[in-house]
Amino acid sequence: MTRILAIESSCDETAAAVVDDRDHVLSSVIASQVDVHCAYGGVVPELAARQHVEAIGPVVHQALEEAGAGLDSLDAVAVTQGPGLIGSSLVGVCAAKAIAWRRDLPLLAVNHLEGHIRSAFIDHPRIEFPALALIVSGGHTSLYLCPAEGEYRSIARTRDDAAGEAFDKVAKLLGLGYPGGPVIERLAEGADASAHAFPHARMKDGSLDFSFSGLKTAVRRRAVEQGLAHPEATGGEVSEETRDLAASFQRAVVRVLVRRSLTACKRERVKSLLLTGGVACNKRLRGAFRSASEREGFAFYAAAPQYTTDNAAMIAAAAFLHYERGAFAPLNINARSNFPL
* Binding interface with ligand KG4 (CB under 6 A): 11, 137-139, 164-165, 167-168, 179-182, 185, 277-279, 281-282, 309-310
Burial of residue 131, with CB atoms counted within 10 A of its CB: 0-12 exposed, 13-18 middle, 19 or more buried:
buried
Amino acid at 40: Y
Contact partner, 282, from Zn ion, ligand KG4, none, Cβ < 5-8 Å per class: ligand KG4
Instruction: Identify which of residues 136 and 252 has a Cβ nearer to Zn ion in the complex.
Output: 136
Instruction: Identify which of residues 108 and 315 has a Cβ nearer to ligand KG4 in the complex.
Output: 315
Instruction: Identify which of residues 11 and 60 has a Cβ nearer to Zn ion in the complex.
Output: 11
In the complex, least distance from residue 92 CB atom to ligand KG4, rounded to whole angstroms: 14
Q: Please state whether the peptide bond connecting residue 179 to the residue before it is cis, i.e. omega within 30 degrees of 0.
A: yes
In the complex, least distance from residue 227 CB atom to Zn ion, rounded to whole angstroms: 37
In the complex, least distance from residue 266 CB atom to ligand KG4, rounded to whole angstroms: 26
d(CA 18, CA 2): 11
In the complex, least distance from residue 31 CB atom to ligand KG4, rounded to whole angstroms: 13
In the complex, least distance from residue 138 CB atom to Zn ion, rounded to whole angstroms: 7
Instruction: Identify which of residues 92 and 139 has a Cβ nearer to ligand KG4 in the complex.
Output: 139
d(CA 198, CA 249): 8
In the complex, least distance from residue 286 CB atom to ligand KG4, rounded to whole angstroms: 10
Contact partner, 9, from Zn ion, ligand KG4, none, Cβ < 5-8 Å per class: none
How far apart, in Å, are the Cα atoms of 334 and each of 89, 92, 224, 329?
9, 10, 46, 10
In the complex, least distance from residue 115 CB atom to Zn ion, rounded to whole angstroms: 8
Q: Which of 160, 164, 177 is nearest to 231 (CA)?
A: 177
In the complex, least distance from residue 11 CB atom to ligand KG4, rounded to whole angstroms: 5
Instruction: Identify which of residues 167 and 198 has a Cβ nearer to ligand KG4 in the complex.
Output: 167
Instruction: Identify which of residues 87 and 139 has a Cβ nearer to ligand KG4 in the complex.
Output: 139
Instruction: Identify which of residues 69 and 341 has a Cβ nearer to Zn ion in the complex.
Output: 341
In the complex, least distance from residue 152 CB atom to ligand KG4, rounded to whole angstroms: 16
Binding site for Zn ion (CB under 5 A): 137, 310
Instruction: Identify which of residues 168 and 310 has a Cβ nearer to Zn ion in the complex.
Output: 310
Instruction: Identify which of residues 42 and 130 has a Cβ nearer to ligand KG4 in the complex.
Output: 42
Give the chain as a 3 state SS string: CCEEEEEECCCCEEEEEEEECCCEEEEEEEEECHHHHHCCCCCCHHHHHHHHHHHHHHHHHHHHHHHCCCHHHCCEEEEEEECCCHHHHHHHHHHHHHHHHHHCCCEEEEEHHHHHHHHHHHHCCCCCCCEEEEEECCCCEEEEEECCCCCCEEEECECCCCHHHHHHHHHHHCCCCCCHHHHHHHHHCCCCCCCCCCCCCCCCCCCCCECCHHHHHHHHHHHHHCCCCCHHHHCCCCCHHHHHHHHHHHHHHHHHHHHHHHHHHHHHCCCEEEEECHHHHCHHHHHHHHHHHHHHCCEEEECCHHHCCCCCHHHHHHHHHHHHHCCCECCCCCCCCCCCC
